[in-house]
Amino acid sequence: MAERIGIIGARGYVGSELIRLIAGHPRFELAFVSSREREGQRLRDHEAGYTGELAYVAHGPEAAAEQGVDALVLALPNGKAAPFVAAVDATAPETLLIDLSADYRFDDAWYYGLPELTRDRYAGQRRISNPGCYATAMQLAIAPMFDVLDGPVQCFGVSGYSGAGTTPSDKNDPAKLRDNLMPYALTGHVHEREVTRQLGHAVEFMPHVAPHFRGLTITANLHLQRAFTRDEAVARYRERYAGEPLVRVADEAPWVSAIANAHHVDIGGFALSEDGRRLVVVSTEDNLLKGAATQALQNLNLAFGFDEIAGIPA
């Protein structure tokens, strides 16, 4: 019998990706998708490739909690999850909740679901916080060298404007972004705090928005406690991610144009300073997929005991 999944916030870019992934999963069934703006409209009129009969609903917190779903995925902007969490806690506490916002990434009662780094911490928790898109790329770029870091890690990031969501702003206005690179939140960004907390090591993050729609890249600058050769550094990454189908390590620095619509993270570049104590690594991912929807599907699979990459296209 299929596990029934509900989605709140289905009109956004990530919601669209989730609909396609869950609808195509061999063991999941879309129970409902909620969007106030599209209430009553058929999904297939908006989602290419979806052939089912579902129409959008507009469930508030109590209605969503009462649907009897096996899992509820919250694809809402930051600051909007709490009423839904409270309603599920009160009405159906055994429902699996996956929150894609930053609202519970700093809450120790929630499992932080970056499977490649945290799956050994999963012990059946019914509350899962999906990592941020940039935070995923940064942590995967840093983790293999974590034990030899010397001082803060600097990460320069550039994302497509889909990362700014659908609410109009300068950061997702194609006219303002044309021929432009827009810096923002250059200190104290939520992903900077998230990665610093998860790694227990200072990370300094400088994000920017570019004119392309999807895909992000981070360039991580790692100071090391001792000298490394390039081969030694690369070997650490290959060993750490051996057997991880959604992390690919290459010699060359990856390009954002190659990661759009892909479900994995590319890590490469691996430039060392002359003294061997400064390593620069590049990490790219599709911010809507491995940075959000694909990772949510990994976490759903993990929670229900399925193959972690079930339903994720190769």
Percent of the chain, pLDDT > 90? 94
Q: Could you tell me the pTM of the whole model?
A: 0.96
State the catalytic residues: 133
Q: How many CB atoms lie within 10 A of CB 118?
A: 16
Bridge partner residues of 138 (DSSP): none
Q: Where are the domains of the chain?
A: 3-131+291-304, 133-286
Q: Is the pLDDT of residue 31 over 80?
A: yes
Residue 202 has phi, psi (to 5 degrees) of -65, 130
Query: Which residue carries 């100071």 as its tokens?
Result: 223
Gyration radius of the chain's alpha carbons:
19
Top CATH class of 133-286 equals alpha beta
Q: pLDDT band at 250, cuts 50/70/90?
A: very high
* Rounded Cα–Cα distance for residues 175 and 198 (Å): 36
Q: What is the pLDDT of residues 299-313, one digit of tens each?
A: 999 999 999 999 999
Q: Quote the pLDDT of residue 1.
A: 85
> Where does 65-145 show beta strands of DSSP type E?
71-74, 96-99, 111-112, 127-129
Q: Quote the pLDDT of residue 48.
A: 83
> Of 63, 77, 106, which is closest to residue 9 (Cα–Cα)?
77
Instruction: Please give the mean pLDDT across all residues of the chain.
Output: 96
Q: What is the pLDDT of residues 173-207, one digit of tens each?
A: 999 999 999 999 999 999 999 999 999 999 999 99
Q: Quote the pLDDT of residue 73.
A: 98
Q: Is the pLDDT of residue 230 over 80?
A: yes
Arithmetic mean of pLDDT, 217-235: 98
Arithmetic mean of pLDDT, 83-111: 98
CB 75 within 8 A of CB 100: yes
* Rounded Cα–Cα distance for residues 261 and 281 (Å): 22
Q: How many CB atoms lie within 10 A of CB 313?
A: 12
Q: pLDDT band at 169, cuts 50/70/90?
A: confident
Q: Across the beta sheet with 3-8, what order do the strands follow?
A: 28-34, 3-8, 71-74, 96-99, 127-129, 111-112
Which two structure tokens, joined as six digits, stand for 220?
Answer: 């991580």
Arithmetic mean of pLDDT, 73-102: 97
Percent of the chain, pLDDT > 70? 100
Fold of the CATH domain 3-131+291-304: Rossmann fold (3.40.50)
Our measurement of the distance from residue 132's CA atom to the centroid of its chain's CA atoms, rounded to an integer in Å, reads: 5
Residue 81 has phi, psi (to 5 degrees) of -80, -30
Q: Is the pLDDT of residue 11 over 90?
A: no
Q: Quote the pLDDT of residue 168.
A: 83
CB 21 within 8 A of CB 304: no
> Of 309, 282, 22, which is closest to residue 141 (Cα–Cα)?
282
> Of 154, 160, 310, which is closest to residue 246 (Cα–Cα)?
310
* Rounded Cα–Cα distance for residues 191 and 197 (Å): 10
